[in-house]
């Protein structure tokens, strides 16, 4: 077999290393025989460049993981907003989800295997190896999360080593134990850093994220759908790891930012006390299109009614229990100002500011106070009535009617840069996310206390204008919308996470995977995930309705199949290894 084909079989065709001057640039060069020698690895600057290149694995707003990840029940995708089906409906011939992580793993293995023999100090060695092991852990976690059992190697594979290149898949639990070993080493050896560089705080936040996934996945998985039965002992161990790693970050000098929306729409996050690690963007140097997507006139995928209804009311109770005003229909508000001329009246809006005032204030900071559908205009700027929208006369449209406010910043960014060349910075790991992980790990362990709530999600409730909760009060809520078969306590902790991380990365999809609740994306079984806003009082027509509510996916259905819990292994990996790599059973 030709070497190139063998290499392709393990999906590590990129045989070189890369470097960059900093994470804003991507200046790649091959690590050939001339540079891959002891003197190269003895040079601290060379090794630092190799580690700096690994920043590219934190994609921030450029990755379409914020807001765009409409493969969830948070977005009512469909119609003009673009229906989002399962990522896999057939076995692909090839997939970057399989191949790309192995390319990064090879880069990491070079650092991990070459640095120990260098003349660098022990402290330098520990830091650089820790960085590489942190990213290797991340890549194997992504592989296992998607495929289950995967090929594993901690070595630099020689292209002539056919046995290694064609090795079978390794049990996913074994691989995840290796992942934890890498994470533990990284936490202990990387050391301090800044909010845009490597640090042990970043490593602990990643450890909490990965171990929470592993702990809950092992608690709720089934033999029939995940190929491995639930493992309570393993779940408890990893949930303990997650809680400890989250607490290690919480014990550091971080605090919540006063503004929830400020974590997402700021041109700088350096002074934000909540940030653990963020991706920095610079005007005319490194930009993204996050805001642009939400302010264009093409219909976007708006928030689903299911997600809207998940927010608590200001009394701290859900829709099924609150005594607050449950009305979710807006009313026509007269005389909207044209943002271009600043004086011209362009029409009326269907206003929901009063509706949002009754609810968790994270909702107000996530969606606009006017609905965007049909012929409705968009208001110009915030005012005392909580009206919010973008400078410009264009009328915005959403598949659900709900417009996304969370990432926009009309005060600090001119219209031209909000349409193109956005330079708001992207949070990657931040304190409120850690609070959610800590509370969930403790709740799943059955050890959550009132003090745990006070140092975690009660702080998030306070910022959202909600009353504090106790373990007893959360247990007593008894929301009739709880369709996950878990206790009221765990349901409410999950609710807080959903609302806190609404539209963030692709958290919701993988949350449903690890909780074994992926069927909640079936829009036939759960119709509220394709419903939108109540527009019964509107004066503009809309083509697709279900009663008073907009219907986002009238001609498309996403029906759950158990095989979706794992991706199918790309067929070329099976073919090129002559069956050494096997297909996931439900995809055969």
- All domains of the chain in start order, with CATH: 1-57+96-190+570-588 (1.25.40.890), 65-94+281-424+522-557 (no CATH), 192-279+425-515 (1.25.40.390)
State residue 171 phi and psi, 5-degree precision.
Answer: -50, 130
According to the 3-state scheme, what is the secondary structure of 1-44?
CCHHHHHHHHCCCCCCCCCCCCCCCCCCCCCCCCCCCHHHHHCH
| Beta strands per DSSP E along 32-143 | 75-76
Residue 482 contacts residue 457 (beta carbons within 8 Å): no
Helices 232-250 & 200-220 angle (0-180, nearest 10): 150
DSSP 286: B
Query: For residue 19, what pLDDT is reported?
Result: 33
Residues 400 and 76: their CA atoms lie apart, in Å, by 6
pLDDT < 50 regions, the chain: 1-9, 11-34, 336-347, 376-393
The side-by-side arrangement of strands in the sheet containing 531-534 is 531-534, 549-551, 545-546
Structure tokens at 444: 């799943």
Structure tokens at 36: 């891959």
Query: For residue 572, what pLDDT is reported?
Result: 93
Query: For residue 358, what pLDDT is reported?
Result: 97
Residue 260 contacts residue 361 (beta carbons within 8 Å): yes
Exposure class string for 452-483: b at 16+ Cβ within 10 A, else e: bbeebbbbbbebbebeebebebbeebebeebe
| Residue with the two structure tokens 């909760």 | 469
Q: What percent of the chain has pLDDT over 90?
A: 69
Bridge-partner residues for 549, per DSSP? Answer: 534, 546
């Amino acid at each position: 077999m030709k070497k190139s084909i063998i290499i392709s079989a393990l999906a590590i065709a990129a045989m070189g290393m890369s470097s960059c001057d900093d994470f804003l640039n991507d200046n790649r060069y091959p690590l050939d025989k001339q540079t891959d020698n002891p003197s190269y690895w003895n040079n601290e600057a060379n090794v630092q460049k190799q580690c700096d290149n690994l920043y590219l694995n934190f994609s921030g707003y450029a990755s379409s993981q914020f807001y765009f990840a409409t493969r969830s029940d948070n977005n009512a995708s469909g119609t003009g907003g673009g229906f989002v089906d399962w990522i896999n409906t057939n076995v692909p011939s090839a997939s970057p989800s399989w191949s790309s992580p192995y390319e990064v793993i090879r880069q990491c293995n070079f650092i991990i295997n070459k640095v120990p023999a260098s003349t660098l100090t022990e402290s330098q060695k520990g830091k650089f190896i820790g960085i590489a092991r942190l990213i290797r852990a991340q890549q194997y976690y992504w592989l296992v999360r998607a495929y289950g059992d995967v090929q594993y190697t901690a070595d630099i594979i020689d292209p002539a080593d056919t046995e290694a290149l064609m090795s079978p898949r390794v049990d996913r639990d074994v691989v995840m134990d290796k992942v934890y070993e890498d994470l533990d080493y990284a936490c202990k050896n990387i050391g301090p850093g800044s909010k845009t560089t490597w640090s042990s705080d970043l490593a602990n936040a990643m450890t909490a994220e990965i171990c929470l996934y592993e702990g809950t996945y092992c608690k709720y998985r089934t033999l029939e759908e995940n190929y491995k039965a639930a493992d309570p002992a393993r779940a408890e161990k990893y949930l303990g790891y997650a809680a400890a790693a989250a607490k290690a970050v919480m014990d550091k000098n971080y605090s919540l930012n006063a503004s929830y929306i400020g974590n997402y729409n700021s041109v700088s996050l350096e002074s934000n006390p909540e940030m653990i690690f963020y991706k920095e963007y610079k005007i005319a140097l490194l930009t993204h299109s996050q805001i642009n997507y939400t302010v264009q006139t093409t219909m976007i995928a708006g928030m689903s009614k299911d997600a809207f209804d998940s927010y608590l009311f200001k009394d701290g109770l859900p829709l099924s229990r609150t005594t607050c005003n449950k009305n979710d229909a807006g009313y026509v508000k007269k005389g909207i100002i044209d943002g271009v001329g600043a004086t011209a009246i362009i029409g009326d809006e269907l206003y929901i500011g009063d509706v949002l005032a009754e609810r968790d204030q994270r909702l107000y900071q996530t969606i606009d106070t006017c609905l965007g559908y049909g012929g409705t205009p968009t208001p110009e700027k915030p005012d005392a009535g909580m009206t919010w929208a973008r400078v410009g006369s264009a009328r915005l449209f959403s598949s659900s009617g709900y417009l996304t406010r969370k990432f926009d910043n009309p005060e600090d960014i001119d219209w031209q840069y909000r349409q193109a060349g956005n330079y708001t910075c992207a949070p990657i790991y931040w304190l409120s996310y850690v609070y959610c992980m800590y509370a969930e790990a403790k709740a799943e362990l059955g050890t959550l206390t009132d003090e745990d709530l006070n140092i975690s999600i009660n702080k998030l409730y306070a910022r959202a204008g909600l009353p504090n909760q106790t373990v007893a009060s959360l247990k007593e809520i008894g929301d009739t919308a709880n369709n996950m078969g878990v206790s009221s306590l765990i349901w409410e902790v999950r609710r807080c996470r959903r609302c806190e991380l609404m539209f963030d990365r692709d958290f919701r999809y993988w949350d449903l995977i690890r909780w074994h609740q992926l069927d909640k994306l079936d829009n036939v079984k759960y119709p509220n995930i394709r419903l939108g806003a109540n527009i019964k009082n509107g004066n503009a027509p809309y083509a697709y309705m279900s009663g008073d509510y907009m219907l986002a996916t009238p001609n498309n259905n996403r029906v759950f199949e158990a095989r979706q819990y794992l991706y199918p292994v790309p067929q070329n990996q099976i073919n090129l290894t002559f069956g050494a790599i096997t297909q996931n059973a439900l995809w055969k």
